[in-house]
Amino acid sequence: MIEGLPFWIDSTVRRERAFVSHPHADHAADHETAIMSRDSTGLYSLRYRSEKILGLPWEKPAVFGKWRVTLFPSGHMLGSAQVLLEKDFRILYSGDFKLQKNAAAREIAIPETDILIMEATFGKPEFRFPPQEKVLEAMLEFIEDCFNEGVVPLFFAYSMGKAQELMVLLGKARIELRVHEHIAKAAAVYEKIGYRFGRYGVLREGERGEFAVIYPPSARRNPILSPLRARTALVSGWALKGSGPYDAGFPLSDHADYQDLIRYVEAVDPAEVYIIRGTEFLKRDLETRGYTVHLLPPPKQLSIF
C-alpha cells in the first residue's frame, strides 16, 4: 500500500477498498469495493462477488482523496490496467503488461512518471520471446500434423486471458475449437465487448471431430480428456524453459520479455524504479542505463512511500 492512498493496490487479501489491475488470482481478491477499468468488471465478476465494483474509463483522471488516479491499458489481457497516481509527484504501477500486440487486449499506452513500480515476471536475460507470428506458424503446423495423424491437438493455456488470445488467433486461422467451460464463460465476456473467436464450443464427453481443444493446465487430468487421442502442448512464456509433461511448448506470452521490460522503463523514463519479482540481472542492466533501481521482496502487502 502507498501511504496516504485511500485504497490498496492488487491486494490478494480482502480489503475494504482496493484497485485491481486485472482479475488473476495473484493480483486480486474479493474486496468490499474493487476499483478497476470498466473493461475488467465482467471478468472480475466471474471470479469474485464484491459488494461494489467501480469501473473507471481509460485515461480520464478520477479523484480519490488527495490523489488523482488515471488508468492506462497494459496489454496483458482484457481490461488489464496500469495505474498512474498523482499528487506532489507521479507514481506508476504497471501490473502485468505486454508490449507486443495482444490479439485479445487493448494495446498498451505508456505514460511518463517520476516513480515506477514494475512487475517483472520474466526478468532474466534468457527470456526473449520469438516474434508472435513465428509462434503462431509453429502452432498451426502442430495442428496440421495432428490432423494428418488423426489425433487431437490439445493446448493448455490459462483460462482467463491467455486462452482467449489463443482463441482469437486460431479462430482467424479458421481452426474449429472446443474449450473448457470456464474458458467459454470468460470468452462470452469478451464477446460482449466485441471480440470474435470463430467456431468454438464447450468440449462434450465422447465428442469426435476435427477440432483443436484448449484447456487450463489445472484441468489437465480432467476425465473428459482421457478418451481423446491427443498430442498436448503448453502455451506460455514459460515454454522457453521446456514443455515439461507436454508433447510440445509454444512461448506465446501475455507478459513482457526481458528486452521489453527494459524498453518499457526507457519509455516511462522514471527517476526511480521499484521492481516486483525482479532479478539482479535486470537491476544491474537498468542501473547501467542510469536508473536508480530497487528490488522489492516477494509480494506480501508492501507499504511504501
The ranges assigned to domains in the chain are 8-126+255-295, 132-250
* C-alpha–C-alpha distance, residues 69 and 235, integer Å: 34
pLDDT of residue 305: 37
pLDDT of residue 302: 44
What global pTM score does this model have?
A: 0.94
* pLDDT per position as a tens digit, 177-205: 999 999 999 999 999 999 999 999 999 99
* C-alpha–C-alpha distance, residues 260 and 256, integer Å: 5
Grid cell, residue 81, equals: 490496467
pLDDT of residue 292: 98
* C-alpha–C-alpha distance, residues 88 and 86, integer Å: 7
pLDDT of residue 298: 66
Helices (H), the chain: 41-47, 132-149, 162-172, 181-193, 258-268, 280-288
Contacts of 166 (CB under 8 A, 6+ apart): 155, 157, 214, 235, 252
How many angstroms separate the Cα of 86 from the Cα of each of 66, 71, 113, 267? 9, 12, 9, 18
* C-alpha–C-alpha distance, residues 217 and 73, integer Å: 27
Helices (H), 29-131: 41-47
Q: Is 53 left (phi over 0), alpha (psi -120 to 50) or beta?
A: beta
* pLDDT per position as a tens digit, 210-237: 999 999 999 999 999 999 999 999 999 9
* C-alpha–C-alpha distance, residues 122 and 149, integer Å: 35
Sign for the pseudo-dihedral over CA of 111, 114, 117, 118:
positive
CA 18 distance to own-chain centroid: 19
> Are 67 and 85 a contacting pair, CB within 8 Å?
yes
Strand partners, 117: 93, 274
pLDDT of residue 4: 82
pLDDT in tens, the chain (305 residues): 577 899 999 999 999 999 999 999 999 999 999 999 999 999 999 999 888 999 999 999 999 999 999 999 999 999 999 999 999 999 999 999 999 999 999 999 999 999 999 999 999 999 999 999 999 999 999 999 999 999 999 999 999 999 999 999 999 999 999 999 999 999 999 999 999 999 999 999 999 999 999 999 999 999 999 999 999 999 999 999 998 899 999 999 999 999 999 999 999 999 999 999 989 999 999 999 999 999 998 655 444 33
| The amino acid at 117 | I
The CATH label, of 3.60.15.10, 3.40.50.300, 3.30.420.40, 3.50.50.60, for the domain at 8-126+255-295 is 3.60.15.10
- Please tell me the number of Cα atoms within 13 Å of 124 on its side-chain side: 6
Furthest-apart CA atoms within the chain: distance in Å: 64
Question: How big is the chain, counted in residues?
Answer: 305
* C-alpha–C-alpha distance, residues 76 and 83, integer Å: 14
20: nearest Cα among 7, 33, 35, 30:
35
| The amino acid at 118 | M
Strand partners, 276: 119
Task: Say what angle helices 162-172 and 132-149 make with each other, to 10 degrees.
Answer: 70
* C-alpha–C-alpha distance, residues 131 and 198, integer Å: 23
The CATH label, of 1.10.10.10, 3.90.1640.10, 3.40.50.720, 3.40.50.10890, for the domain at 132-250 is 3.40.50.10890
* C-alpha–C-alpha distance, residues 52 and 282, integer Å: 38
**154 SS3 class:** strand
